[in-house]
A and B are shown apart, each in its own frame.
Chain A
């Protein structure tokens, strides 16, 4: 068998590298209208996730806090920082902040946050590293096998209809 030419080897490895780079890049932080840092809030100031994502234990979606919630603290805290000024601007103009979505499940998956949170699954199980991220980043791929593993370990339903309605 003929050995592959060095060019082909280089091209193949470049291609592989590009693939890996692309898959790593998909875990990169999504740019947001306001540079929000989870690290400062969660790790440095020990604010519970559910203080801002206040519906996580009540409804299917964890919810993103309204500008009002940001302002409830930032009317007095760090008011001179440029990013906080941006939020204040939204607040004055009575406009919502259009955050870019980072974590999204396909339409055919029925995922109620409340069931997981009330069952005592820590937020970081599905959102690892979020507490240390400067921004919002999704490091875990939500594959069905991964969900099933967890369900099996906890001995909860793995009936198809539990998640696919």
Chain B
């Protein structure tokens, strides 16, 4: 069973609240870097909400762009990995990251045009009782490895396993990454592009669609819907 998972982010709906970032950190056992480390550019987040200011006449508006890994079809990060720790998953069409294969050259992070890869500079500590909040479906990464958004692969796995056990196909909306699930205005749409009936397949036909840095030819799976103009926007 093959899939092509994709994500669409509706910038018209995104309010920049940051709930997706919190959900991602909680779901994926991402350690907190702290202020000092973040100041050195070592912020540990798989998903960030980039903010841009836009001047419109008298007013200045903020535009929020949630940026997870784009899961590029032609990923610049994959071709530079010397140990094949990041590669293209043929079954799911995802940009896979195998943590215990990574030797920490950080070349992938240098080559990623979207700067969404993060590096574990320090062994993360979850002091009691914080260790109780760790997600058991996912490994706790050690120091010296690269990591990044995986579209919540553990949830995709779980969905696939349930579907196999019940002898059916995955239903649309059954698999949902933590960010999409938690987004209050529902700005993140996730699904399987190979399913012609799915919400994501309908969304990618929207005329507002655009891709970040499309000219680079990375063919990202994460796409965006443009902010519309009009009263109250």
Contact = CB atoms under 8 A, between A and B. Distances in A.
Contacts of A112: 157, 161
B154 A165 contact: yes
A165 B150 contact: yes
B124 interface: no
Contacts of B157: 110, 112, 165
Interface string B95-115: 010111100000000000000
Contacts of A159: 89-91, 96
Contact of A161 (B96, B137, B164, B165): B96
Contacts of B150: 165
Interface string B159-181: 00100110000000000000000
Chain B interface mostly: mixed
Contacts of B91: 157, 159
A60 interface: yes
A157 B164 CA distance: 15
B139 interface: yes
A108 interface: yes
A92 interface: no
Interface string A54-66: 0000001000000
Chain A interface mostly: loop
B153 interface: yes
Contacts of B94: 161
A159 B101 CA distance: 13
Interface residues of A, number: 14
B161 A114 contact: yes
Nearest to B85: A160
Interface in A74-123: 107-108, 110, 112, 114-115, 118
Given A160-B96, A160-B98, A165-B154, A107 B165 contact: no
A108 B153 contact: no
Interface string A147-165: 0000000000101110011
A39 to B, nearest CB: 31
A120 B100 CA distance: 29
A114 B157 CA distance: 12
Given A60-B137, A165-B153, A165-B154, A160 B101 contact: yes
Interface of A: 60, 107-108, 110, 112, 114-115, 118, 157, 159-161, 164-165
